[in-house]
């Protein structure tokens, strides 16, 4: 498998960094990005049927084989009834629940564990609101690496059971994912384990960006009008945006559109990005006492806040919230309308989309893609 040459550079100040055990920029503390030479349209994609099909755009070294469980290439499912219910011309669900371990987090962990294994780390440690921990446990097992996961006790029980089923060391904590993050960094400093929190290392987002490649290819190498993403840490939105930038640089996209309008959906009980967006701020202040049933959205201090806010403003985007009642209602409506057993995060996305259309912030004639980030089964004990 081959790949274009790449470097690591700061997403904010462009400072270059070394590949292995990379963390935040040493100059300004912002997330690092992998930067590639332009991959021209028509470049052959890898002869395999998973996210590593897009190997020319991925952070691999010559001859390297990624740690993979068959992640990616998830379906895009149109729903005319949901389109009518929220008031748009066309609506598609990109169903990430069909990934290994039942969520979009499989993509990021495939890429991050591939780089961690190449670096020869003694183990990997992560804080999680749920699905990231399950995905890391699976991919670390596949790579033969030790892993420790810090998770709030309020994380859905099926997800915690999945983490332990893969042999990971699970530490349940009182508090939220921010508290788990502090323990993660302390443990990494003590043991030499590699900490792979959202956007704290640069490779998880490289896996996430494959959602953008797939979306463009599924639409015939063009971009839909609107992408709605339920957002906790922000790596999904950032990843899709990054992928489309890279495709545009190589001339892959048709139709004149490079980026969709992004709609970031957050729970009313934990909405630091939506609050910052409404205030016109360029960063989000931590949310005190985050509370929501949709555990993947319970991220009070997202490291990707500056990037997500920048993307929203570049694309005339929307950041808004849904109540717990609306999240439950629209999760149920989605299941009944499509047969997709969606996570509550997707119910949040649909509720926010409905309100944005009603308020005129998303056009009624739009072609919309809503991401279902995980499986509803993970939330049922």
| Out of 75-89, 174-188, 260-274, least confident range | 174-188
Contact 309, 303 (CB under 8 A): no
Closest Cα partner for 173 from 157, 156, 147, 150? 150
Which tens digits make up the pLDDT trace of 137-159? 999 999 999 999 999 998 989 99
Q: Label the pairing between strands 32-36 and 6-10.
A: antiparallel
pLDDT at 294 over 90: yes
Average pLDDT over residues 258-278: 98
Cα angle value 270/271/272 (rounded, 5°):
110
The pLDDT assigned to 380 comes to 80
When pLDDT is cut at 50, 70 and 90, the band that residue 358 belongs to is: very high
Q: What is the per-residue pLDDT for 381?
A: 66
| 3-state DSSP assignment of residue 375 | strand
The CATH architecture that domain 105-195 belongs to is: 3-Layer(aba) Sandwich (3.40)
DSSP state of 282: S
On the question of pLDDT at 15 being above 60, the answer is: yes
Q: 1 pLDDT exceeds 70?
A: no
Average pLDDT estimate for 56-79:
95
Contacts of the segment 48-53: beta carbons below 8 A, 24+ positions apart? 49/73, 51/107, 51/110, 51/207, 51/210, 51/214, 52/1, 52/110
pLDDT in tens, 17-64: 988 788 999 999 999 999 999 999 999 999 999 999 999 999 998 889
Kindly state the helix (H) or strand (E) to which residue 76 belongs, with its residue range: strand 76-78
DSSP letter for each residue of 102-162: GBTHHHHHHHHHHHHHHHT-SEEEEE-SSHHHHHHHHHHHHHT-EEEEEEETTS-HHHHHH
Portions of the chain given CATH number 3.40.50.1100: 76-101+204-379, 105-195
Q: 124 and 110 in contact (C-beta within 8 Å)?
A: no
Give me the phi and psi of 280, to 5 degrees please: 75, 20
pTM of the entire structure? 0.95
Question: Mean pLDDT, to the nearest integer, of 101-111?
Answer: 97
**Residue found by looking up tokens 């704290």 in the block:** 200
pLDDT tens per residue across span 247-267: 999 999 999 999 999 999 999
β 318-322/123-127 pair status: unpaired
Instruction: Summarize pLDDT for 112-123 with one digit per residue, the tens.
Output: 999 999 999 999
Give residue for tokens 């379906």: 75
Asked if pLDDT for residue 78 goes beyond 90, the answer is yes
Tell me if 205 sits within 8 A of 183, measured CB to CB: no
CATH number, domain 76-101+204-379, options 2.60.40.350, 3.40.50.1100, 1.10.10.10, 3.50.50.60: 3.40.50.1100
Average pLDDT, the chain: 95
Q: How confident is the model at residue 88 (pLDDT cuts 50, 70, 90)?
A: very high
In the structure, what pLDDT confidence band is assigned to residue 337 with cuts at 50, 70 and 90? very high
The rounded radius of gyration (Å) of the Cα atoms in the chain is 19
**Residue 169 phi, psi (nearest 5):** -85, 115
173: β partners: 152
**Looking at residues 355-360, what average pLDDT do you find?**
98
pLDDT at 3 over 70: no
- To the nearest 10°, the Cα dihedral for 11, 12, 14, 19? -40
């Amino acid at each position: 498998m081959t790949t274009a040459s790449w470097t690591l550079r700061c997403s904010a100040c462009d400072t270059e960094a070394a590949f292995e055990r990379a963390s935040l920029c040493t100059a300004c503390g912002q997330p690092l990005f992998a930067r590639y030479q332009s991959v021209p349209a028509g470049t052959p994609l890898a002869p395999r049927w998973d996210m590593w099909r897009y190997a020319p755009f991925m952070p691999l070294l010559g001859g390297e084989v990624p740690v993979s469980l068959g992640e990616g290439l998830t379906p895009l499912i149109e729903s005319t009834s949901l389109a009518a219910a929220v008031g748009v011309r066309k609506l598609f669900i990109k169903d990430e629940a069909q990934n290994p371990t039942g969520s979009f987090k499989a993509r990021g962990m495939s890429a991050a564990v591939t780089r961690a294994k190449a670096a020869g780390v003694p183990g990997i440690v992560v804080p999680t609101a749920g699905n990231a921990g399950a995905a890391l446990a699976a991919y670390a097992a596949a790579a033969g690496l030790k892993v420790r996961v810090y998770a709030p006790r309020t994380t859905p029980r099926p997800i915690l059971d999945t983490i332990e089923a893969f042999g990971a060391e699970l530490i349940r904590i009182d508090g939220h994912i921010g508290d788990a993050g502090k323990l993660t960094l302390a443990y990494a400093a003590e043991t030499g384990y590699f900490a792979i929190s959202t956007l704290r290392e640069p490779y998880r987002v490289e896996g996430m960006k494959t959602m953008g490649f797939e979306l463009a290819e599924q639409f015939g190498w063009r971009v839909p009008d609107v992408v709605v993403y339920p957002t906790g840490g922000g790596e999904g939105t950032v990843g899709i945006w990054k992928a489309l930038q890279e495709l545009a640089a190589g001339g892959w996209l048709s139709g004149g559109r490079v980026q969709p309008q992004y709609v970031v959906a957050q729970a009313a009980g934990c909405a630091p990005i939506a609050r910052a967006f409404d205030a016109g701020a360029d960063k989000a202040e931590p949310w005190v006492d985050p509370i929501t049933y949709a555990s993947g959205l319970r991220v009070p201090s997202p490291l990707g806040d500056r990037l997500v806010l920048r993307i929203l403003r570049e694309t005339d985007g929307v950041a808004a919230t849904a109540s717990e009642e609306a999240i439950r209602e629209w999760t149920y409506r989605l299941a009944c309308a499509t047969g997709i057993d969606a996570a509550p995060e997707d119910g949040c996305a649909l509720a926010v989309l409905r309100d944005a259309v009603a308020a005129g912030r998303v056009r009624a004639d739009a072609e919309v893609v809503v991401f279902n980030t995980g499986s509803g089964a993970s939330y049922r004990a």
